[in-house]
Amino acid sequence: MEVKVKVFSVNKTLPYDASLLRINFSLPQINEIALNISQRSTVSGINEIAYALKALMLTDLTTLAGDDTAANVRRLCVRACLPFEPQFFEKSFERTLLPDIHCAAVCVYPARVADAYKTLQQYGKLDEISIAAVATGFPTGQYGLQTRLQEISYAILAGATEIDIVINRQLALIGDWEGVYNEVVLMRNACGERAHLKTILAIGELGSMENVYKASMVCMLAGADFIKTSTGKEAVNATLPVGLVMIYAIQEFKRRTGQIVGLKPAGGVRTVRDAIAWITLVKETLGMHWLQPELFRFGASGLLDDIEKVVRNGVAQLEKA
């Protein structure tokens, strides 16, 4: 199978600047803001359907199981391409007014990238649905540096267009932020312009919100296109307070450098209600223009199940009305 190599516009690596790691936020205030947003993010009726479909189109549909096979990766990709049967919306909506509804990406292990590429190619979706591969010793990162870098190259050669790397939490926990930066720079270089780089902070293992902020900053300085909360394998994953700290880092980084970085909550976003809370958080902080696949994603394996339930039930209610 011949893989078509693409070239992307990617973020630049900037010089390490310790001044960007200075923190100025109140943790109680962050928790209060996050709580208020979660309480305001209840919608119903056609608005809930619209939010659910928006969340779907921002989702990296994910399978990261030890028993993944070519067959279940193919099923994942087919579902990402066709989450609803084509005629589903015809009774309730003018089909021509709806966008082509599909997930933003599929996310798999490097060994399964070729399976995803083959299926998306068969469905003519390679230009619409990205292939993300977790790499660099996911989820722990406890491998030699050269091995982690080789994994990036392997995934890209197999057809990955996005690489979700894990940072070295050991360096972060001892405060060696320049060491974290140097490793991510090498990972940015390994991706080059052939793939976007999403850096997983594994926030549940960083020990503090201050470390979440600093990890966000050093990854962005190193050239990350996205900062991502979690592997989904930690005890604590994506939470709104963590998201708000990462957003503050994104905003300050943009103010200081002019460079724009995306956000990806992953792990724990299981329901449409969860997704609406995150969408509301982004809308009220970064702005509506951030709610596009180029700047915001959900990493999820079970979210699509709830999206499908909400949309089908909502459409059934509209048809009865």
Q: Active-site positions?
A: 164, 228, 264
Cis peptide bond prior to 28, omega within 30° of 0: no
> Tokens standing for 252?
């300050």
- Which residue in this structure is represented by tokens 């003519």? 124
Helix (H) or strand (E) holding 299: strand 298-300
Q: What per-residue string of b and e applies to 151-162 under the rule 16 or more CB within 10 Å gives b?
A: bbbebbebbbbb
Is the backbone of residue 34 left (phi > 0), alpha (psi -120 to 50) or beta? alpha
Task: Give me the helices (H) in 123-208, please.
Answer: 145-158, 169-173, 177-191
Query: Is-contact 138 122, C-beta < 8 A?
Result: no
Q: Pick from 237, 280, 208: which is nearest to 25 by CA?
A: 208
Per DSSP, 11 falls in state P
Query: Is-contact 103 129, C-beta < 8 A?
Result: yes
Residues whose CB falls within 8 Å of the CB of residue 39, separated by 6 or more in sequence, listed in order: none
**How many helices (H) does the chain have, and how many strands (E)?**
11, 8
Calculate helix-pair angle for 145-158, 177-191, nearest 10 degrees: 30
> Tokens standing for 125?
């979706």
Residues whose CB falls within 8 Å of the CB of residue 194, separated by 6 or more in sequence, listed in order: 5, 6, 7, 8, 156, 161
